Amino acid sequence: MTTDLYPAARDLLAKLVSFDTTSRGSNLALIEWVEGYLDGLSIPHRRVPNAEGTKSNLMARIGPEADGGVVLSGHTDVVPVDGQPWSTDPFTLTERDGRLYGRGTCDMKGFLALALAAAPELAKGGVRRPVHLAFSYDEETGCLGAPAMIEQIAALAAKPSVVVVGEPTNMEAVNGHKGIANFHVTVTGREAHSSQTHLGVSAVMEAVKLMKSLTDLSARLEAEADPASPFTPKGATLTIGVVHGGTAHNILARECQFVFDLRCPSPLRPETLIAPFLAEAEALDRDLKARAPEAGVKVELTSNVPPFAPEPDGAAEAFARRMAGDNGPPRVVAYAAEAGQFQGAGFSTVICGPGSIDQAHQPNEYVEVSQMQRGALFMRRLIEWASEG
Catalytic residue among 77, 121, 191, 317: 77
**Packing angle of the helix pair 369-387, 6-17 (nearest 10 deg):** 110
Q: Which residue among the candidates 35, 107, 121, 139 is catalytic per the annotation?
A: 139
Active site residue 77: yes
C-alpha 202/C-alpha 333 separation (Å) is: 40
Residues labelled catalytic: 77, 139
